[in-house]
Structure 1
Amino acid sequence: MNRLTQMLGIERPIVQAPMGWIARSQLASAVSEAGGLGIIETSSGELEVIKGEIARMRALTDKPFGVNVAQAFVRDPGIVDFIIGQGVKFVTTSAGDPTRYTRQLKEAGLTVFHVVPHLAGALKAFDAGVDGLVVEGGEGGGFKNGRDVASMVLLPLVRSHTDLPIIAAGGMLCGRTMAAAFALGADGIQLGTRMVSAAESPVHANWKNAILAARETDTVFLNRQGPGPALRALRTAKTTRLELEPGPNMLAEFGRATDLYFGGDMEASIALSGQVAGRIDAVRPVKDILDEIMADYAAVRAGLPA
């Protein structure tokens, strides 16, 4: 137990990333049941579907879970009222200004963590009154800041400026990376790519197999100069082309996202992925993943030199 597990009411300081269309009840309930914290996404914008996913979460687990608000992708002005109305107790906010929703969420009694890619974002979130931070290194998958900073640099930098609880994201995979994150100032870790490849992940086997086949060099960082967000994804013919010749609207490339996510057409859209894909070699159940992380963490910690 540490202050993060106590704050969130969970057994293990492991949080599942809120990936659009993927972070729904099937995966999130498995994470919560295994002692971590499952997160339901809203970045797909399908709020009526999300309402059903939250109801299914309560049918699948009585353990704590949370919801993410990715502000750049969910523009429904009623999103906070929607989340409060669902009885959710923990929220992460991302891809936007932490002052936008923090006060309203906290006044309703929710715990709020904001996702930050750099120190300036962390300080702004601190001033906004958040309860904690998700500090996201540039080696992670998904939508990123174009001026990316690796977790090895970012975590201790943010920790040196705040005592808020920190969840480390980007490069997190195993007990060894958990131990490293804790040494750098984190209180927990967030798993994204590892959860995409988990047995309970709803994505097509083609995507999972592409992760298993990937080397540590098989991701691309797209759209660094904008407009819009940058992102890290698996290398495919499509993303290699976009790396060399970015289009005018990167978000338009997600128009057929579900054909990739659930249909298995790896060229239909962009398969977001972190560099840890190069270390994943098997599709495994969520519980096994979390069990192994905790066992490996204990072994690594015990084996560290004095």
Structure 2
Amino acid sequence: MKISNRVTELLGVDYPVIQAPMGWIARAQLASAVSNAGAMGIIETSSGDLDAIRGEIRKMRELTDKPFGVNIALAYVRDPGIVQFVVDQGVKFVTTSAGDPSRYCADLKAAGLTVFHVVPTLAGALKAVAAGVDGLIVEGSEGGGFKNQRDVASMVLLPLVCSKVDVPVIGAGGFSDGATMAAAFAMGAEGIQMGTRMLSASESPVHDNWKKAIVEAQETDTVFLNRGGKGPALRALRTARSTRVEQQVPESIMSEFAGVQALYFGGDMEAAIALTGQVCGRIDAVRPVQDIIEETVRDFHATVARLAARYNRG
């Protein structure tokens, strides 16, 4: 059932499935489960607590002997020594996001790391390739989290970028199972990234209230916030708070995250904004990471085989 392509070869994993680098959430508990399942677990640094991140990476090595990576969210870097910090941790794979890919790409690659950059537009993809990245994570606006204010869906963005670049591409935004993975590959990708699907997994450290809200959500139960306001746009679960923010755009969208810990780990769904993708409408249970990845890969192969049998009739 292993999948062999440029993504798995570059990352050293069995399956080209990447776990999104969700702030405060993408820590050892979740990322090690992803890596142990044969995919690529990612540790976040966007929370800015590098001492804690160092400890999480130490835990990763206790929990798994499989490859894992680290994300650098460029817009949220507080420590100018972030590149050396990542290099010192001995990881071999880095994703960069939320900023200019040329900022650290050369230094990371000079240290021997593989670098993929997250892009929300074709222009961003071409800029990243020019900066020398090894690959791209092409993220449509269906996905949860921080977004480009000029949103483009994966169905448009992914095949567009794949038609214009030669580096391997991972699709992000709306991917949660084997059928959507097959769709991503049909559009030119060689892997997928899962955010909301992993957010709702058994090993995710967030409070059960958030997981329950995802399982109960319909496909229309997210909202795209801060279109035209200061700072990034974002997609989140629709709650009383996010509906208010949609109708009355705050001077700073980041002020809405002051209570993030109370939401993420305390279960108060109105304490902050619950970043969640539209794919919440397709998630109907909290399941272990191993089951999610095994089923995704199994159904991917089954989908490809079914399509070939139906349409390749000579």
TM-score (norm 2): 0.97
The answer as to 2:99 corresponding to 1:96 is: yes
Distance (Å, rounded) in 1 between the aligned partners of 2:145 and 2:247: 19
Distance (Å, rounded) in 1 between the aligned partners of 2:174 and 2:239: 21
The answer as to 2:228 corresponding to 1:206 is: no
Match of 2:137 in 1: 134
Q: Is the 8 A contact 1:219 1:275 kept in 2?
A: yes
Distance (Å, rounded) in 1 between the aligned partners of 2:79 and 2:253: 21
Residues 37-85 of structure 1 deviation map (CA, whole Å, 9 limit, x = unaligned):
0000001001000000001000100000000000111221011110001
Q: Is the 8 A contact 1:44 1:74 kept in 2?
A: no
The answer as to 2:162 corresponding to 1:159 is: yes
Q: RMSD of the TM alignment (CA)?
A: 0.5
Moved over 2 A (4+): none
Aligned to 1:68, what secondary structure does the other structure show?
A: strand
Distance (Å, rounded) in 2 between the aligned partners of 1:203 and 1:86: 25
Distance (Å, rounded) in 2 between the aligned partners of 1:284 and 1:177: 18
Match of 1:9 in 2: 12
From 45, 51, 58, give the equivalent of 1:48: 51
Cα deviation, residue 226, structure 1: 2.1
| Residue identity matched to 2:149 | G
Distance (Å, rounded) in 2 between the aligned partners of 1:8 and 1:72: 25
Distance (Å, rounded) in 2 between the aligned partners of 1:139 and 1:175: 17
Q: Is the 8 A contact 1:139 1:151 kept in 2?
A: yes
From 231, 236, 239, give the equivalent of 2:239: 236
| Residue identity matched to 2:102 | T
Aligned to 1:19, what secondary structure does the other structure show?
A: coil
From 178, 198, 210, give the equivalent of 2:181: 178
Structure 1: runs of 5+ lacking an equivalent:
none
Q: Is the 8 A contact 2:17 2:192 kept in 1?
A: yes
Q: Is the 8 A contact 1:133 1:164 kept in 2?
A: yes
Q: How many aligned positions are there? A: 306
Match of 1:33 in 2: 36
Distance (Å, rounded) in 1 between the aligned partners of 2:232 and 2:262: 22
Structure 2: runs of 5+ lacking an equivalent:
none
The equivalences for 1:1-306 within 5 A come to 1-304=4-307, 305-306=311-312
Residues 237-294 of structure 1 deviation map (CA, whole Å, 9 limit, x = unaligned):
0000000111001001101100000000000001000000000000000000001001
